[in-house]
Amino acid sequence: MPAFGRDVAKEGKAAAFPSCSFLCLFHRNDIVVDRLTAADHIDLRARAEPAELLAGFLQGHGVAIHRKGNNVWAFNRHYDPAKPTILLNSHHDTVKPNTAYTRDPFSPEIEGDRLYGLGSNDAGASGVSLLAAFLHYYDRSDLKYNLCVAITAEEENSGSGGLESIIPDLGPLEFAIVGEPTLMQLAIAERGLMVIDCTAHGKAGHAAREEGDNAIYKAMRDIEWFRTYRFPKESNLFGAVKMSVTIISAGSQHNVVPAQCRFTVDIRVTDRYTNEEVLEIIREHVQCEVTPRSTRLKPSSIPPSHPIVQAGLALGRTTYGSPTTSDQALLDIPSLKLGVGDSARSHSADEFVHLSEIREGIELYIEMLKAVL
């Protein structure tokens, strides 16, 4: 098992925080946690710190690294542009800790088989496991594929400065393994996410007289359509596209008929549609003005017959469709979501990952890649 590096949790006001669990050090088949503190090593206020630690770790193992912003990536030593490339991706950022924490979220601790800390489960454990698998194959000259490992930022806030910003720098990619907590089961599809802002237009008037055209009533007709419409094509993994009206706002005072009613719709798109197709269908059916905030978080999938999926099935894994969104949504290639930890622990108070899960994750990544490399 290759030695593996470390990361330090920090405080900050960024939209996404760095993960604690890059503190894990891998040596042979044992995992040791090196507790680093601000006083011991580094200014924890520096937002770029996790990227610096990742870069330093890889360089310490003789790996030439690439960096843009807080994203770090590297290729196998014997990279051959004539060969296809597999992307191994996870993220080193996490969310702001919630108020229910009973532990210091920025101070990783081990108790028994558990590593506690912000981002330990989502997705630091997957990141360190993918890096360990990458280093396992790094020096091999007989691989059928190139390997590119990319540990990126801004996943949790869907920022434009994360994976999306470096995709053009990675070159042609054949397929990807995206490290997110799946209990090391095979998420062969992922819902896309599209949020739209809708505005129903009416005409203002005095509420005491028969004046105006109430925008709320006009919006109600469209809201009812969002509630009841079923898209014709349904996914074998997810069922129907899901649309939920989640925010509504109208009116300024009780005696004025509102001229506008604004509402927001959360749409979870399945692998049977593109975001653009769903948007077109919506506009064909509603009267309100429809403005998507973005169409970039696309549904994603990989065929069950794909060799990397078959490799996982041969090792006793099962397939399923993931309801949560990840950086898979930014990829235009087949991608498999597969990672250490349990999604149910993500963003929870006193977040933790089992050290045994990390060991299992490293071994499984290595064995699955062995079947295709």
For the domain that residue 66 is a member of, what is the CATH number?
3.40.630.10
Pick from 223, 168, 227: nearest CA to 200: 223
Q: Same structural domain for residues 21 and 123?
A: yes
pLDDT confidence band for 19 (50 / 70 / 90): low
Residue 183: pLDDT over 80: yes
How many domains does the chain contain in total?
2
Q: Is residue 1 part of a domain?
A: no
**What is the pLDDT averaged over residues 94-102?**
83
Asked whether residue 186 falls in the same domain as residue 205, the answer is no
Shared domain check, 259 and 140: no
**Residue 127 CA to chain centroid, in angstroms?**
12
267: containing domain: 192-292
Instruction: Write the CATH number for 216.
Output: 3.30.70.360
Same domain, 178 and 312: yes
With beta carbons less than 8 A apart as the criterion, state whether 105 and 11 touch: no
Q: What span, in angstroms and rounded, lies between the C-alpha atoms of 79 and 175?
A: 16
Q: 124 by DSSP, 3-state: which? A: helix
Whole-number percent of the chain with pLDDT over 70: 87
Query: Do both 218 and 264 map to the same domain?
Result: yes
Residue 35 counted as domain residue? yes
Model pLDDT, residue 346: 76
Helices (H), 138-214: 163-166
Q: Give 322-373 pLDDT, tens digit per residue.
A: 988 888 989 999 999 999 988 778 777 888 899 999 999 999 999 999 999 9
Does residue 284 lie within any of the structural domains?
A: yes
Q: Are residues 264 and 203 in the same domain?
A: yes
268 and 350 co-located in one domain:
no
* Per-residue pLDDT tens over the stretch 41-76: 333 333 447 888 889 889 999 999 999 999 999 999
Chain-wide mean pLDDT for the chain? Answer: 85
pTM greater than 0.85: no
When pLDDT is averaged across residues 162-169 and rounded to a whole number, the result is: 94
Q: Which of 235, 258, 292 is the last residue of a domain?
A: 292
| Distance between CA atoms of residues 262 and 258, nearest Å | 11
Point out the domain boundary residue: 292, 313, 345. 292
pLDDT-above-90 percentage for the chain: 64
Q: Which residue has the higher pLDDT, 225 or 54?
A: 225
Rg (CA), the chain: 23
11 domain-assigned: no
